[in-house]
Amino acid sequence: MTTPTALGTGEARSRLHELTVIDVRTPGEYAGGHLPGALNIPLDQVRRALPDIRHAAGRGDVLVVCASGARSENACRILAENGIETITLTGGTGAWAADGHALDRPQGAPRAVWGMERQVRLTAGTVVLLGLLLGLVVHPAFQILSAGIAAGLVFSALTNTCGMAAILSKLPHNRPRAADLDRTLAELRSR
């Protein structure tokens, strides 16, 4: 298994013309702004795209990006396990924008969806508050909801995974339409 390499935003910007950029965020996050020329292949669709990514990696370096770097590291790990060497962007799209680099937004794209991290924080906070409220008003056993979320957050931090994000990524606003993913894979093959 190959360890993924990382590029800083400055080096990635100077090499952007020679890189195939794959954004592994949800379609909604991608629509909110992505690196110029990036193709959207959500993390849970990377395995489906393996042949096309392998083909692109045979023609040149592949840069995998997400919001902050965690999902792109996971994607790079999956790709490395399948013999595909890739590079990740240190700090992700957030670092790219913070360094003053432009983000592309698809024309006519629907309103941007909240980032996955923000969706997770909202959902976790809501369930914790609901568990505490129901524990006070209905029955103390409902506080187990809050304890379950706390345990999930600790597990998430220790393993650098997020089960709640995996569940939230299945919601319709976070899913690519099959035609969109097929179009993206066709574009990846043609590059």
Catalytic residue numbers?
66
CA angle 45, 107, 29 (to 5 degrees): 40
* Strand ranges (E), the chain: 5-7, 20-23, 39-40, 62-65, 87-89
**Long-range pairs for 107-113 at CB < 8 Å and ≥24 separation?**
109/31, 110/28, 110/31, 112/28, 112/29, 112/31, 112/32, 112/33, 113/26, 113/27, 113/28, 113/29, 113/31, 113/32, 113/173, 113/174
Q: In what order do the strands lie in the sheet with 5-7?
A: 5-7, 87-89, 62-65, 20-23, 39-40
Q: Which residue has the tokens 């962007």?
A: 89
Buried/exposed 1-17: b ≥16 CB within 10 Å, e otherwise: eeebebbebeebbeeee
